[in-house]
Chains A and B, each alone.
Chain A
Amino acid sequence: MLKLFLQVRPIAFIVVLLVTWQVAVNRHPGQLLPGPLQVIRGIGDLLQHGLLLKYVVASMFRVTWGFLLAAAIAIPLGLTIGWYRRAEMAFNPLVQIFRPISPLAWIPIAILWFGVGDLAAIFLIFVACFFSLLLTAMSAVHNIPAVYINVGRNFGLSTSDFVYRVLYPAVAPQLITGLRITLGIAWLVVVAAEMIAVSSGLGFLIVDARNAGNRYDLVVAGMVIIGIIGLLLDLGMRSLERVKSFRWGYSEN
């Protein structure tokens, strides 16, 4: 009974908030915010016109490419740099300069290089993910306990065996955490990128709904959908952390 209550509690809390929101909007009808029912109707509208699915797919498409490209380049590069102390000494200042630059600052350059379109958005996501993943990979290598490296050497592994059987499994848990956080960043950036660089996707939906007739129900509908998809992405990545051969990296006991 208590368990059921604990499971239901977060949902119950959301329901209470929604009801409060609706009541408040009913009492003071005005321009401040559309009510939840309006938002739900807005989502219904989007579904009806086939826009919801189209925009979600467009946003996911950009995130997927930007994120995967960044992972494919930044992780091997970061692991290599982290492994060789000299390489790290050479690269680190550069990384530290680029890292604090907001990915949004790259928007003009993205448009200059790739024009207005998918490529510019993908590039922005790539940039946002790249430095985050590079640093994750570098620090993951640093944190490998020396014991694992020594055991690997002791058993006479070839370089490729060492990478595959010691280095990779030793960094995997930290990489997965890094990937999860970075995917969150990518999802933040895609919305901003779509507001400026393209004419589709959830970010575009929000700007467009406001510009074309102050449809604030659609603005909030867009926000809600972004939030829900972000949550689902995070849950998906979290499920990786429960894989048995990764789990050791998370439970401190």
Chain B
Amino acid sequence: MSTQALMRPSVPGVKLRMEHVGMVFERDGKSVSVLEDINLDARDGEFICLVGPSGCGKSTLLNVMGGFLSPTSGSLTIDDEVVHGPDPRRILVFQERGVFPWLTVEGNIGFGLSKLSDVERHQRIAHYVQMVRLQGFEQTYPSDLSGGMQQRLQVARALAVNPDILYLDEPFGSLDSVTRFIMRAELLRIWQTERRTIIFVTHDIDEAVQLADRVVVLSSRPAKIQDILTIDIAHPRNLSSARYLEHRDDLLKKIGLAYAV
């Protein structure tokens, strides 16, 4: 009997699967439970937002998915393979300070491309410079870029290695509201052209409703999945349409519940 037969049958189209994932940290001799019984399937090409009260463990969950932390219980598989650590096929975009300050825009985007030939690498860099609209800044160091440009640069560096999954940890959290709005539109545009699976952590309800196919609502610590909302509105979403507002109020209500827990 082959091991294949022993394995749980894989569901077509499922990219990432978490079953009963739990995370317990040991701190000063005490066990602190951060994640409890997380069950979630992310389909290939799906845009999922994780929302929940601050400090609930959203980032921990993302770090588990990214392979930076091993769950203390349960299983995490991507393409039916158990995740053993970080992998260039899945890139995490950090909230801030994620770009390397010692590299130029070009150097940062090319960071994961050292295995390519010079010609290929330059083509790839040029492509993503254009995609995140940083033309003219190729030789600029991050300290001379605005916060929004730095985050675009980080997204470009991630996309440049052709990852299957993009994890974003409140990537626009430190930006002003106008810039955030533009960044969301850019991210959607990129997602629609490149079709990666995106897992996006945010505490901003509007952001979640505007972007996601599904919104996963987490409870306060230890984080459990409180609810999963499907937002079945085609992009670009009209942010003042009745259906949009309905989804938003619904999510608000559910988050309110989550906060109350």
Which chain A residues have a beta carbon within 8 Å of chain B's beta carbons? 145, 147-148, 150-151, 153-156, 161, 165-166, 169-170, 172, 244-249, 251, 253
Number of interface residues of B (CB under 8 A): 23
B143 & A154 in contact (Cβ 8 Å cutoff): no
Contact with A along B140-167 (1 / 0, CB 8 A): 0111000000000000000001000000
A147 & B97 in contact (Cβ 8 Å cutoff): yes
State how many angstroms separate the Cβ of A113 from the closest Cβ of chain B: 41
State how many angstroms separate the Cβ of A29 from the closest Cβ of chain B: 57
B101 & A155 in contact (Cβ 8 Å cutoff): no
A248 & B111 in contact (Cβ 8 Å cutoff): no
State how many angstroms separate the Cβ of B138 from the closest Cβ of chain A: 14
Residues in B198-252 with C-beta less than 8 Å from chain A: none
- Cβ-neighbour of B88 out of A154, A165, A247, A253 (below 8 A): A154
Residues of B near A251 (CB, < 8 A) are 143
B68 & A248 in contact (Cβ 8 Å cutoff): no
A150 & B88 in contact (Cβ 8 Å cutoff): no
B66 & A245 in contact (Cβ 8 Å cutoff): no
Residue B191 at the A interface, CB < 8 A?
no
- Cβ-neighbour of A248 out of B92, B114, B142 (below 8 A): B142
User: Complex: how many Å from CA A84 to CA B243?
Assistant: 55
Q: Which residue of B lies closest to A173 (CB)?
A: B102
Q: Which residue of A lies closest to B63 (CB)?
A: A150
Q: Which residue of B lies closest to A172 (CB)?
A: B102
Residues of B near A145 (CB, < 8 A) are 97
State how many angstroms separate the Cβ of B261 from the closest Cβ of chain A: 30
Q: Which residue of B lies closest to A165 (CB)?
A: B111
Given contacts A145-B97, A150-B86, list 14 more A-B pairs with CB under 8 A: A147-B98, A148-B97, A150-B94, A153-B68, A155-B88, A155-B111, A155-B112, A155-B161, A156-B86, A156-B88, A169-B103, A245-B141, A248-B101, A253-B143
User: Complex: how many Å from CA A244 to CA B100?
Assistant: 13
When A and B form their complex, which 6 residue pairs have the shortest distance between CB atoms, in order from nearest?
A: A248-B101, A169-B102, A155-B112, A156-B88, A245-B102, A154-B86
Residue B87 at the A interface, CB < 8 A?
yes
Q: Which residue of B lies closest to A246 (CB)?
A: B102
A245 & B86 in contact (Cβ 8 Å cutoff): no
User: Complex: how many Å from CA A153 to CA B100?
Assistant: 14
B143 & A153 in contact (Cβ 8 Å cutoff): no
Residue B85 at the A interface, CB < 8 A?
yes
User: Complex: how many Å from CA A248 to CA B103?
Assistant: 10
Which residue, B66, B94, B100, B161, has most C-beta atoms of chain A within 10 A?
A: B100
Known A-B contacts A247-B143, A248-B141, A253-B143; A154 and B101 likewise in contact (beta carbons under 8 Å): no
Q: Which residue of A lies closest to B85 (CB)?
A: A153
Residues of A near B90 (CB, < 8 A) are 154
Residue contacts A-B, CB under 8 angstroms, 17 given:
A150-B94, A151-B94, A151-B111, A153-B85, A155-B88, A155-B91, A156-B88, A161-B114, A245-B102, A245-B103, A245-B141, A246-B102, A247-B141, A248-B101, A248-B102, A248-B141, A248-B142
Residues of B near A155 (CB, < 8 A) are 88, 91, 111-112, 161
State how many angstroms separate the Cβ of B212 from the closest Cβ of chain A: 23
User: Complex: how many Å from CA A247 to CA B87?
Assistant: 31
User: Complex: how many Å from CA A245 to CA B100?
Assistant: 10
B100 & A169 in contact (Cβ 8 Å cutoff): yes
User: Complex: how many Å from CA A154 to CA B98?
Assistant: 12
Residues of B near A248 (CB, < 8 A) are 101-102, 141-143
Residues of A near B94 (CB, < 8 A) are 147, 150-151
Residues in B89-119 with C-beta less than 8 Å from chain A: 90-92, 94, 97-98, 100-103, 111-112, 114
User: Complex: how many Å from CA A148 to CA B92?
Assistant: 12
Residues of B near A246 (CB, < 8 A) are 102
B100 & A148 in contact (Cβ 8 Å cutoff): yes
Residues of A near B143 (CB, < 8 A) are 247-248, 251, 253
State how many angstroms separate the Cβ of A175 from the closest Cβ of chain B: 13
A154 & B102 in contact (Cβ 8 Å cutoff): no
State how many angstroms separate the Cβ of A247 from the closest Cβ of chain B: 7
